[in-house]
Amino acid sequence: MRHVQGRARRVGAALAAVLTWAGLLAGAAGCTAEGAGGPDGLFDKPPASEDVIRITPDDGSKGVRPDRRLRVQVPSGRLESVKVVKSQDARESPVRGRISDDGLSWEPADRRLALAAEYTVDAVALDGHGRRSARHAVFTTYVPEKRFVGYVTPEDRAVVGTGMIVSIEFNREIADRAAVERAIEVSAEPAVEIRPHWFGDGRLDFRPERYWKPGTEVTVALHLRDVQGAPGVYGLQDRTYSFTVGRSQVSLVDAARHTMQVRRDGQLVATVPVTAGAPKTTTYNGKMVVMEMLEVTRMNGATVGFKKADGKSEYDIPDVPHAIRLTESGTFLHGNYWADQEVFGQANTSHGCVGLRDVKGGGADTPAGWFFDRSLVGDVVEVVHSKDGKVAPDNGLSGWNMGWKEWKEGTALS
């Protein structure tokens, strides 16, 4: 009898436990939040997505600085996917990045944020209990008031002579020259060593040790976008330029002999009579590169300092034909129709330019017309035996007058 009673007590206790658990379930069902169910709804509400997935900068942030770190993290569990899109200048692009091996964090490949951009982050993760959460966040970055740009010589897709120097002039002074230099890449095919040289804080030139080989393809990549060139001043461009090196033409002006020898690919093709700078207004010696070519232009001496005692210009010629600029300071190789025919090949009478015989309006069959039609921007014109100094390396594209060792010392990078 005692055995039967003991069994009954055990059955009763088990039944009471079942009823109690059922009562708990029934009571709990009446006080859970709408939509809750199962053990998660009974004892612990699913955590908010911002607690599971933490995104920095915060959602809704504005004016985020470029050095702020973009990161997606979970305290436990793992990230399943992270998608980040950058919208800048009305263009969207994905932001590359990777989830860490432990699955707890995601970081972009480029840790520096773009300026004036909107970032959209979409992340999906599993928490430590295997529950899936998704989070969407948007923030915008700092919009700088001041920007800088670089103006590239030569023009994109140009065909140039073998003496072309890549020259980049900036619209603002560059304080952090190293940062800007790192953001510019000049490459060539076939490959050749190309080095940069700064002329002051506003100009950066690139060249190889010797003239380019004909047929070389050169690419100039400006990755200046958001690069800080000076305090509060950021770059604007992310562009690529390219140009092709054409045939070789190097012309040698002998100011003492009043001649110009024109060589193509090393072979002498013509000797042209010229008139160079007069004794009081001599022509620079040295290697100069054709910067631009004008069918006709006006030359006014007052613009380059040639004035009479009364302040008037020493000359003002409205229609100089076949004008080829050699320096920024105003040295040209050009057609001359106003001088006596006898001076060409016999005397130096110009204000520092190199003159070739021509006719008013420019003639195709004159020495000046012949040379103009066979020239390219980037061709080299070298002057020797003039009673003047050597042209400065930064006067136009005259960097070939600087030795290779000195040229390489002009970098801002150690």
Nearest to 186 by CA among 247, 249, 243: 243
Tell me the two tokens of residue 381. 């014109």
Q: Can you tell me the distance from the alpha carbon of 69 to that of 288, in angstroms, rounded to the nearest whole number?
A: 49
User: Sign of dihedral through CA atoms 333, 392, 348, 344?
Assistant: negative
Place of tokens 């010629």: 317
Does the N-terminal peptide bond of residue 190 adopt cis geometry, omega within 30 degrees of 0? yes
Q: Catalytic annotation on 31? A: no
Q: Can you tell me the distance from the alpha carbon of 141 to that of 29, in angstroms, rounded to the nearest whole number?
A: 48
Q: Can you tell me the distance from the alpha carbon of 345 to that of 63, in angstroms, rounded to the nearest whole number?
A: 67
Q: Can you tell me the distance from the alpha carbon of 257 to that of 247, in angstroms, rounded to the nearest whole number?
A: 27
Q: Can you tell me the distance from the alpha carbon of 89 to that of 118, in angstroms, rounded to the nearest whole number?
A: 10
Catalytic residue among 197, 258, 322, 353: 353
3-state DSSP: the chain helix, strand, coil percent, rounded to 5? 15, 40, 45
- Widest distance between CA atoms in the chain: 149
Q: Can you tell me the distance from the alpha carbon of 381 to that of 14, in angstroms, rounded to the nearest whole number?
A: 108
Within 13 Å and on the Cβ side, how many CA atoms surround 103?
A: 12
Q: Can you tell me the distance from the alpha carbon of 10 to that of 129, in angstroms, rounded to the nearest whole number?
A: 36
Catalytic residue among 197, 334, 351, 385: 334
Query: Under a CB-based contact definition with an 8 Å cutoff, are residues 321 and 336 in contact?
Result: no
End-to-end CA distance of the chain: 101
| Residues present in the chain in total | 414
Q: What is the DSSP letter of 307?
A: B
Q: What is the DSSP letter of 47?
A: P
Nearest to 322 by CA among 280, 272, 284, 286: 272
Place of tokens 């002998």: 254
Does the N-terminal peptide bond of residue 57 adopt cis geometry, omega within 30 degrees of 0? yes
Catalytic residues: 334, 353
